[in-house]
Amino acid sequence: METFKRLKQFYWPYRKYFLWSVVSLLFATIMTVSYPLILGFIVDELILGDRQDLIGVTVAGLVLVMVLKGLFQYLQQYLGELFGINSVYEMRNRLYQKLQFLPFRFYDNARTGDLMSRLAQDVEAFRFFLAMGCAQILNFVLLTVFGFGVMLYLNVPLALVTLAVMPLLAIVVYRFDRNVHPAFLEIRRSLARLTTKVQENVSGMNTVKALSKENYEIDRFVDLNNNYRDNHIHTAVIWGRFFPVMELIGNICVVLLLAYGGWLVVDGRMEPGELLAFFSLIWFIVMPLMQIGFVLNTYSQSKAAGERLLEILDEREEIRNIERPLRPERIQGHVTFEGVSHRYPGESEWALQDVNLDAPPGTVIGIMGATGAGKTSITQLMARFYEPQQGTVRVDGHPVREYDLQRLRSSIGFVLQEPFLFSATIRDNIAYGNPEATMEDIVDAARRADAHGFIQELPDGYDTVLGERGGGLSGGQKQRLSIARALCVNPSILILDDATSAVDMDTELRIQAAMREVMRGRTTFIIAHRISSVKHADEILVLEEGKIAERGTHEQLIRHVDGAYRRIYDIQFQDREAVLHGKAI
């Protein structure tokens, strides 16, 4: 029960629904166990006792019991659903909130399909147990207690003989739970892997088709589907091994009842009606016992689901606000790195080593280097997505850890190499970081990102609803919308992470010309592979293996004949000049 104790915060506030559901179940159970007594009364008094004068009263009483039982069962189910639905409503909100604030380290290893499975199937499994499983267990307990109580009232020896095998059933039930719980946990894990595979395949369908890997993807899916099937079969084997034993024990109870009870009736120590009442009561106990496997099934699934949900809820939010963070009205954007070295969790190599830089407000810093040289790491530390192992990152003279996270990040405008657009209108995508932006602000940001033209050509203009991840737009159009979204925030610090890599040279030149005015007064970091994107920067950093190999202006670096920057320049510009002069095709 440790899992349910730790998740108590979600369902305990709604205990009133659960308690009233239990009260309703209690009265429904009383109505249920009264049936056998009425049947015994009918046999002994109305039939064998020839008391026809009691028929009307008996029928009316039986109808009343049936109506009350139906009413209480309705209340129990309705209140139970309210209990379960409200509990997981809070749980789902908390899980989603937790996902928003978990560090980048968590998402470096997380799988989208697995997270979707936890927020959907696992939460639903927990809800089903709260709404239905708890009621089934309580129904089993109440029927057993009340039924056994009535049986003791009618005939103590027969009750003890009939239920003599109950301890054996308890042992079988315990062993069943010990075996079936790990099996259900593995089922949920294999389902998460299957969901992840489908999500990745759909998201990467262009790559799959481009490389003709359809059959390969089918084979991988079949393997995961086989694993999911095998886990279900393993669970079915456990079920098939234990359920017949539990049913056999229930049938033994019936045999003992008929054998000993029949002898008592023949011997005259028990009335036939009492035996009939006993026979009905034993089924109220035996049938739940036979269905206990299903109850344990829902319990084990909910426990396995709860454990997977706790894995997210227990995840540590490593990067959070200090006790009294800074919340300035506006951050000026003076960025400094002082001896910063950073290594990602689980990695042995340094992503950055002893990086120093000073970027006053209005400065444009260009960052170049090979893939994996540490370019993006600089900007991630600036926004405090990670924290460096050595050195200090400062903004306006204060370490970034002293700022309120939301205030810091809302002052930084990101344009990433792989832009992400939401399934919403273009207007909503541009204003995503600034919900208070007016239409004039949105159009102005689009103009400066050279996106206004193609937006107007769309059927609904700024009200055009985009497909998933910006489906229907070209890579360059997505990047221009991403630039417009960053500009709409009016950030103090602007980070362009290879932001114009998907646009042609003419579009890049238009964007750069429009953004020169935008960059004025802002601290801008331009990560690029094209020299044309950074040549106008106030300072250019060339990174190699996490270290700053060269730094300076374009004119200074171009004079280093053997430098890394000059080599990149020669590759990008000399071949192009040769083509322009007819020296190459």
∠ at Cα 219 (218, 225), nearest 5°? Answer: 85
| CA-wise closest residue to 424 among 461, 470, 459, 455 | 470
pLDDT of 71 > 90? The answer is: yes
pLDDT digits (tens, 9 = 90+) for 24-61: 988 888 888 887 777 777 776 666 766 776 777 777 88
How would you classify residue 357: left for phi > 0, otherwise alpha for psi between -120 and 50, otherwise beta?
A: beta
- Mean pLDDT score across all residues of the chain: 82
Strand partners, 526: 366, 496
CATH class of 2-313: mainly alpha
Sheet with 523-527, side-by-side order of all strands:
412-415, 493-497, 523-527, 364-369, 539-544, 547-552
Q: Helix, strand or coil for residue 519?
A: helix
DSSP class per residue in 179-214? HHHHHHHHHHHHHHHHHHHHHHHHHTHHHHHHTT-H
The pLDDT score that the predictor gives to residue 433 is 84
Q: Select the highest-mean-pLDDT range: 160-174, 264-278, 370-384.
A: 370-384
Q: Determine contact, residues 492/333, Cβ cutoff 8 Å.
A: yes
**Residues 162-184, mean pLDDT to the nearest whole number:** 76
For residue 292, what pLDDT is reported?
67
Give residue-wise pLDDT tens across range 473-526: 877 788 888 888 888 888 899 888 876 665 666 766 766 666 676 777 789 999
Q: What is the pLDDT of residue 517?
A: 66
**For 446-546, where are the E strands, in sequence order?**
493-497, 523-527, 539-544
3-class SS at 338?
strand
Mean per-residue pLDDT, 317-334: 87
Q: How confident is the model at residue 581 (pLDDT cuts 50, 70, 90)?
A: very low
Task: Choose the weakest-confidence range: 396-400, 479-483, 485-489, 576-580.
Answer: 576-580
Task: Provide the pLDDT confidence category of residue 401 given band limits of 50, 70 and 90.
Answer: very high
Q: Looking at the predicted structure, is the pLDDT value of residue 399 above 90?
A: yes
Mean pLDDT, residues 365-378 taken together: 87
Least confident of 217-231, 233-247, 377-391, 501-515: 501-515
The secondary structure of 362-426 as a DSSP string is T-EEEEEESTTSSHHHHHHHHTTSS--SEEEEEETTEEGGGB-HHHHHHTEEEE-SS----SSBH
> At what angle are helices 292-313 and 166-203 packed, to 10 degrees?
50
Q: What is the residue whose two structure tokens read 């009294």? A: 324
Higher pLDDT, 397 or 473: 397
> CA–CA distance from 435 to each of 404, 439, 469, 488, 489 (Å)?
20, 11, 20, 10, 9
Higher pLDDT among residues 291 and 153, named by residue? 153
The answer, yes or no, to whether residue 578 has pLDDT greater than 50, is no
Query: What is the residue extent of each domain of the chain?
Result: 2-313
130-139, 251-260, 374-383, 572-581 — most confident range:
374-383
The pLDDT value recorded for residue 403 is 92
Does the pLDDT of residue 338 top 90, yes or no? yes
Give the pLDDT of residue 75: 92
Rounded-to-integer distance, Cα 80 and Cα 128, Å: 10
Q: Return the axis-axis angle of helices 15-41 and 134-154, rounded to nearest 10°.
A: 30
547 by DSSP, 3-state: which? strand
State the pLDDT at residue 100.
82
pLDDT at 293 over 70: no
Question: Whole-model pTM above 0.75?
Answer: no
Q: How crowded is residue 276: how many other Cβ atoms within 10 Å of its Cβ?
A: 18
Output the pLDDT for position 312.
86
pLDDT at 539: 93
CA dist 138 and 291 (Å) reads: 13
Average pLDDT (282-305) is: 73
pLDDT at site 489: 85
Percentage of the chain beyond pLDDT 70 is 88
pLDDT tens-digit series, residues 342-353: 988 778 889 999
Instruction: Assess whether pLDDT exceeds 50 at residue 19.
Output: yes
- For position 294, what pLDDT does the model report? 66
Residue 222 Cα distances to 115, 185, 216, 226, angstroms? 21, 21, 10, 6
Q: What is the pLDDT of residues 422-436, one digit of tens each?
A: 888 889 989 988 888
